Every structure is written in structure tokens, then in C-alpha cells.
Amino acid sequence: MSELDYLAFDADNHYYEALDAFTRHVDPKMQPRCVQWCEVNGRKYHVVGGVVSHAVVNPTFDPVARPGAMHDYFRGNPEGKQPWEFLAERERTPSEYRNRDARVARLDEFGLESVWLFPTLGMLYEELLKHDIEAVTTLFTGFNRWLDEDWGFNYNGRIFAAPYLSLADVDWATRELEWALDRDARVVVMRPAAPHTRDGQRAVSDPAFDPFWARVNEAGITVVCHAGDSGYSSNGYAIDGFAAGFSGGGWRPNVKSFHIERAAYDFLITLAFDKLFDRFPNVRVASVENGSDFLRDLFKKLRSTDHKMPGYFTEDATETFRRNVWINPFWEDDVHEVVDLMGPDRVIFGSDWPHIEGMPRPLDYVSELKAFPADAQRLILRDNARELTSLRPA
């Protein structure tokens, strides 16, 4: 903190959902199609759409691994530990994981002005319910009411919790967006995936969803595509399922480790291919916790497409992309390459706190930016997220 003469803005914080986050505002008659609790061999699990979910080891988050527990693993594992060794130490759930006033006190300790706040389990459950659209909309209607009650969408200008939206039902998404705007939401979040609708699976930039994007464009609210369960298949190269990394008590590398970035790549480049930003030039999309290693190839593919299809794009597609998209790299990514591709005004800092993959303390990230001039650092650490949190009505 002593390295900065201002408070930073962390664009990727998380809560651990309350035990009733998925049930408090869901009609008990619908809960069997949405989320219920069960106990298996003495452990509590969520039942999602009638199927026990093992997406996380302990969805009560009590006890829970410490923030940044796997930091050294993602740094290159200098001590050569096995992945599960990083998670051996657990703690009782700290109050700041579930209480907004305790979180604000933590922000003060960390030297943070504000945070964007995203789901943990909430980023996983649309995929498990995708074939029951009424369950998707019912669950996330209730989930967003819980979120508004426990955290608020703009809590004293410090915590900006993002309601979860799905385009599985565009009319629902548009109504839910309007409801969130009425409660001073500054960001909304969705998973990087082509939603399953009553007419089949469609990219979010399909014209069928234009009523939603028209309202986003008019309101000037930022849409975050945040890593989650995007439903990607390993096509036989690995066992599918979000938590299917362990088999027979062991672990081995497989192509599932690429799914997060594959999903973001496809999501973002399709926005450009479908010319969403031509139709709605005031739409701002922030990619959070999806990594950035795909960016160089994404730009290469956009330029190649432009050359092969002259006249299709109304301008250089990479320039349109840079104007309307912001990137939050993984903390272990090469931020210099990201800035080179996007510009310092399109890169946002996010620590993923308090998740195990993130930083033990958010401003541990400052050292990654030491080679940048002070004005570029300030853009990445504060000003870009500030801009995106301000509504920019068309």
C-alpha cells in the first residue's frame, strides 16, 4: 500500500454465498427444479436440478481455504508441491466473506477504494440447469434478490455487487436488468457462453437478444463476462464436468485447464464477428478472470477475417474491439503484452480475492506493474474500473 498515493479499485472480488442464497427467495415448490441442500456421508452438498453437485468440495465454505492459497502454484510451483498440498490449511469462514460492513473494513485495511463483487457458486449453476429455462430464471431471480438484501448493488460507493443475468430468456433478462438499474446497479455479470434458449443455443450477440443490448446501450451499464462453468466439452480428451479434475485420488494435467480461456476467446471474438458494437456502440464489455493469453491470436484472427472478407467490417475490427472491451488478465499473465495489445486504458486490475487462485492480498499485484509509468499504473489499478462503474447513458 505504501507504494501508491491513492486507493486502488479491485475489479474482481468475490463473496461466498450465504447458506440460503439460492433458496431464500425461491418458491419451495420450485426448489426441486432449482437448488436444494442434501447430506451425503456426513457432508453437505447442493442438489442442482435434482442432481448432487460436486462443483466445489464444500459449498458451505466452512471451513474454507485461505485467500491465495494456490498463489505459489500458479507462480510456477517453486517448491514442487502437489496441487492438493496447497489446500491443506483451512479456516472458519471469516465475516468479511459474507458481511458487507466487515468487507468494507477489509477494503480499508487493504488500501482499496472500491470493488466489483461477483458470485462464487452462482457462476456455476446456469450450466447445470440450462435445459430448464424456467428454473434458470426462477433461480437467478431469487438469487439476485438475496444479493440485493445481503450486499446491495452499490453499497456506499465501496462495494458494487453484480446481479447475475442470463439471456436464456431475453424478456426475463431485460426485465431483470431494469430491476437492477432501479436499484443502482453499476455492473451486471454473465458467464461467457452461448445461452440455451427455447429456440436452441445462440451467441449472446445474436440479433434475437437485441432488446437486452439496446437497454444496456441506453443505460450505459457495464456488462461483465466472468469465468464460470461455460459448459465446454473436452471431446473425449478429459472427463467433463466442472469439478472432474481428480480421479482415483490423483490428479493429472488435461485440456480442461484451457476451458476458461477458450470460452472467453469464443465469447469475445463472436461479439466482433456479429458486429454487436456496430449496432450498440455504447455497450461496454469487461472480461474478468478469463485470462488474456488468447488475445494475440484473437487479434490475428480478426485481422485475417477482415482481409478475407473485405468490406464486412465497417472499420478495423481490432479498433472496434479495443474501444468496447476491457480485459482483466490473470495476475500471472504477462500484463505488458496485454497493455501492448489493448492499451493501458483498457486493462483492469482484479485480485480474485478471497479465492484460492487469486492474490493473498489484493495489492500484491502492484509489483507486476512496476515497469509501467505512474499514469499507466493508475489507469490499471483504479481509473479504468472507476470509468466502467459510472453509468454512461447513450
Looking at the predicted structure, is the pLDDT value of residue 307 above 90? yes
pLDDT on residue 129? 98
Once rounded to an integer, what is the mean pLDDT over residues 79-83?
Answer: 78
Q: How far is CA 208 from CA 143, 274, 283, in A?
A: 25, 12, 16
Once rounded to an integer, what is the mean pLDDT over residues 78-99?
Answer: 86
Looking at the predicted structure, is the pLDDT value of residue 260 above 50? yes
pLDDT on residue 249? 47
pLDDT on residue 250? 54
**C-beta neighbour count of 99 within 10 angstroms:** 16
Once rounded to an integer, what is the mean pLDDT over residues 190-219?
Answer: 98
| C-alpha–C-alpha distance, residues 171 and 328, integer Å | 29
pLDDT on residue 203? 98
Looking at the predicted structure, is the pLDDT value of residue 75 above 80? no
Bridge partner list, 36? 47
Once rounded to an integer, what is the mean pLDDT over residues 14-33?
Answer: 98
Fold of 8-21+96-389: TIM Barrel (3.20.20)
Q: Report which secondary-structure segment, H or E, holds 299.
A: helix 295-308
Looking at the predicted structure, is the pLDDT value of residue 175 above 50? yes
Once rounded to an integer, what is the mean pLDDT over residues 227-254?
Answer: 75
Label the pairing between strands 159-161 and 187-190. unpaired
SS (H, E, C) 3-18: CCCCCEEEEEEECCCC
Question: For the chain, what is the mean pLDDT?
Answer: 94
Confidence of residue 247 (pLDDT cuts 50, 70, 90): very low
Confidence of residue 244 (pLDDT cuts 50, 70, 90): low
Looking at the predicted structure, is the pLDDT value of residue 71 above 90? no
Q: Domain ranges in the chain?
A: 8-21+96-389
pLDDT on residue 88? 78
Looking at the predicted structure, is the pLDDT value of residue 32 above 90? yes
pLDDT on residue 223? 99
Contact between 83 and 70 under an 8 Å Cβ cutoff? The reply is yes
Once rounded to an integer, what is the mean pLDDT over residues 75-80?
Answer: 77
**C-beta neighbour count of 381 within 10 angstroms:** 27
Helix ranges restricted to H, 343-390: 374-378, 384-389
Contact between 101 and 94 under an 8 Å Cβ cutoff? The reply is no
pLDDT on residue 53? 94
Chain segment 112-145, per-residue pLDDT in tens: 999 999 999 999 999 999 999 999 999 999 999 9
> Of 152, 155, 149, 98, which Cα lies nearest the Cα of 121?
98
DSSP string for residues in 208-226: GGHHHHHHHHHHTPEEEEE
| C-alpha–C-alpha distance, residues 341 and 326, integer Å | 11
pLDDT on residue 73? 80
Looking at the predicted structure, is the pLDDT value of residue 55 above 90? no
213-247 in b/e form (b: 16+ CB < 10 A) is: bebbbebebbbbbbbbbbbbeeeeebeeebeebee
C-alpha cell at 133: 429455462
Distance of CA 260 to the CA centre of its chain: 10
Once rounded to an integer, what is the mean pLDDT over residues 180-187?
Answer: 98
pLDDT on residue 276? 98
Nearby residues of 23 by Cβ (< 8 Å), 6 or more positions away: 31, 34, 35, 36, 37, 142
State the burial class of residue 275 (Cβ atoms within 10 Å of its Cβ: 0-12, 13-18, 19+). Answer: middle
Once rounded to an integer, what is the mean pLDDT over residues 304-329?
Answer: 97
Bridge partner list, 284? 222
The residue behind cell 482415483 is 248
Confidence of residue 243 (pLDDT cuts 50, 70, 90): low
